[in-house]
């Protein structure tokens, strides 16, 4: 553990002999905080602050609550009813009043008794909050996708490494056995020479009432907007079902959902997905409402390695449906000269079927095992090892979403240099790798 964590735990041990109301103690010491009631002793516990506790953040927070060696001590949200519900849920779970509630994430970062930040706010806040966490000496679980631009991704990657932080990206499919197995089949040549990866995901939506209305009392709209351009409040602009599809706050599902199957494509593609590539595609765009991200897309990436990656959503070719025998709206399929494997959240399929009985040996490439994404993070916080979805892979998967979005917006065939992380001889495309932030927010 780092020095800050060690000092905090030393303080808690000393505090055991002091009255709970002693001056200077930041919150009430419950019996479970000191190892009672079946809990883990405070010196062994990892303390967690949750920033953004809407539907997605609340779900991941529940996973932290189920871990006996973790303790959620702070929640933060700009919607007062969401914040209140999260605080009450945590305190009810621990049968205490120790969880503090905040509207300003900077107050959470200022606490030196927090080890881990769960960051699950709207997408346009992801990198800024994660940056604040790592710069304040905290490890991070960051919901996907990462940044609204490659420049944001790069800034976070630099900060994670510079500050020696443990980082887990919310691409939880890496903690699924079937996904790992499919990738290992591809990486170990069990499919023959890998030549194609097919990827598909749900698409974005359109709509949303653009009529300006008064900001509701329960919302701190200025804090919600943060680095995004100031826009008049509308009832759908901050809706959990629509801000996903507004480009001021997100890339749409080309990244918001597409990051899941395309991350698996990168994980199993090995060296073949690390070479320069061309990317081109078409998209369909909303014609009404406040949403303005691509509703569907068809992107083709051709690597110098000879691999082709097809990325589409939400419709995928009938040929894929017949071949893979799947009907779900998402998936990743690896195709080689001797067979294929397809995997999604409903299961795994392969041809020939015998591939599913493959047993790997000691000389084979094995990917890190994780049965639970939060559990993997907590274990790595203790050991300081890399997580299953560490920052370097997280950025590379995110890049594939960004360059796909840029290609369909420009409707051009672009050449990408993965080492330099920029487009070759295309200033218009490179300008889209960064975007301005509203003052006073900066990277």
437: Cβ–Cβ under 8 A, 6 or more apart, which residues? Answer: 227, 443
Q: Do 157 and 192 lie in a common domain? A: no
Q: Do 161 and 197 lie in a common domain? A: no
CATH number of the domain bearing residue 133 = 3.40.50.720
pLDDT of residue 325: 85
Q: Do 79 and 219 lie in a common domain? A: no
* Domain assignment of residue 415, given as a range: 176-359+391-431
Instruction: State the pLDDT confidence band at 25, using cuts at 50, 70 and 90.
Output: very low
Q: What is the pLDDT of residues 155-211, one digit of tens each?
A: 999 999 999 999 999 999 999 999 999 999 999 999 999 999 999 999 998 889 999
pLDDT of residue 10: 42
Q: What is the pLDDT of residues 418-431, one digit of tens each?
A: 999 999 999 999 99
Would 369 be classed as within a structural domain?
A: no
pLDDT of residue 43: 65
* Residue 435 Cα distances to 224, 392, 427, 430, 443, angstroms: 18, 21, 14, 11, 11
Would 397 be classed as within a structural domain?
A: yes
Would 171 be classed as within a structural domain?
A: no
Instruction: State the pLDDT confidence band at 42, using cuts at 50, 70 and 90.
Output: low
pLDDT of residue 19: 32
- Arithmetic mean of pLDDT, 283-289: 94
Would 379 be classed as within a structural domain?
A: no
The b/e string for 378-410 (b: 16+ C-beta within 10 A; e otherwise) is bbbbeeeebbbbbbebbbbbbbbbbbbbbbbbb
Q: What is the pLDDT of residues 375-388, one digit of tens each?
A: 999 999 999 999 99
Q: Do 79 and 193 lie in a common domain? A: no
At residue 72, does pLDDT exceed 80?
yes
Q: Among 165, 194, 227, where does a domain finish?
A: 165
- pTM of the shown model: 0.90
The domain total for the chain is 2
pLDDT of residue 241: 82
Q: Do 133 and 180 lie in a common domain? A: no
Share of the chain above pLDDT 70, in %: 90
Share of the chain above pLDDT 90, in %: 85
- Coil, strand or helix: which one is 108? helix
Q: Exposed, middle or buried: residue 177 (CB in 10 Å: 0-12, 13-18, 19+)?
A: exposed
Would 437 be classed as within a structural domain?
A: no
- Arithmetic mean of pLDDT, 312-336: 89
């Amino acid at each position: 553990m780092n020095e800050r964590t060690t000092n905090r735990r030393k303080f808690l041990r000393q505090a055991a002999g002091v009255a709970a109301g002693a001056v200077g103690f930041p919150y009430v010491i419950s019996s479970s905080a000191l190892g009672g009631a079946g809990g883990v002793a405070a010196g062994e516990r990892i303390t967690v602050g949750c920033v953004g506790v809407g539907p997605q953040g609340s779900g991941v927070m529940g996973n932290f609550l189920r871990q006996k060696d973790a303790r959620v001590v702070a929640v933060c949200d700009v919607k007062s009813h969401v914040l209140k519900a999260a605080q009450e849920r945590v305190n009810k779970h621990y049968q205490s009043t120790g969880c503090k509630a905040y509207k300003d994430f900077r107050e959470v970062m200022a606490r030196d008794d927090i080890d881990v930040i769960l960051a699950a706010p709207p997408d346009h806040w992801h990198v800024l909050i994660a940056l604040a966490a790592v710069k304040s000496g905290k490890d991070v679980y960051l919901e996907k996708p990462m940044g609204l631009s490659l420049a944001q991704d790069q800034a976070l990657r630099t900060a994670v490494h510079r500050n020696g932080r443990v980082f887990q990206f919310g691409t939880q499919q890496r903690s699924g056995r079937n996904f790992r197995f499919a990738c290992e089949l591809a990486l170990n040549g069990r499919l023959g020479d890998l030549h194609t990866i097919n990827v598909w995901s749900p698409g974005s939506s359109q709509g949303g009432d653009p009529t300006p209305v008064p900001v509701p009392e329960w919302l701190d709209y200025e804090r919600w907007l943060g680095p995004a351009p100031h826009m008049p409040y509308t009832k759908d602009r901050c809706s959990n079902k629509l801000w996903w599809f507004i480009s001021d706050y997100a890339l749409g599902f080309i990244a918001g959902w597409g990051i899941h199957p395309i991350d698996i494509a990168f994980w199993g593609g090995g060296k073949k997905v690390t070479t320069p590539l061309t990317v081109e595609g078409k998209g369909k765009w909303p014609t009404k409402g406040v949403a303005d991200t691509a509703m569907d897309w068809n992107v083709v990436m051709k690597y110098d390695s000879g691999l082709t990656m097809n990325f589409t959503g939400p419709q995928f070719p009938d040929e894929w449906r017949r071949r893979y025998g799947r009907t779900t709206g998402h998936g990743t399929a690896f195709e080689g000269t001797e067979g294929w494997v397809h995997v999604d959240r409903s299961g795994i399929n392969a041809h020939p079927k015998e591939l599913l009985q493959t047993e790997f040996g000691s000389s084979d490439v094995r990917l890190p095992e994780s049965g639970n994404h939060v559990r993997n993070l907590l274990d790595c916080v203790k050991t300081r090892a890399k997580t299953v979805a560490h920052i370097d892979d997280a950025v590379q998967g995110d890049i594939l979403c960004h360059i796909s979005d840029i290609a369909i917006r420009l409707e051009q065939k672009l050449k990408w240099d993965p080492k330099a992380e920029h487009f070759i001889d295309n200033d218009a495309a490179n300008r889209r790798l960064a975007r301005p932030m509203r003052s006073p927010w900066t990277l």
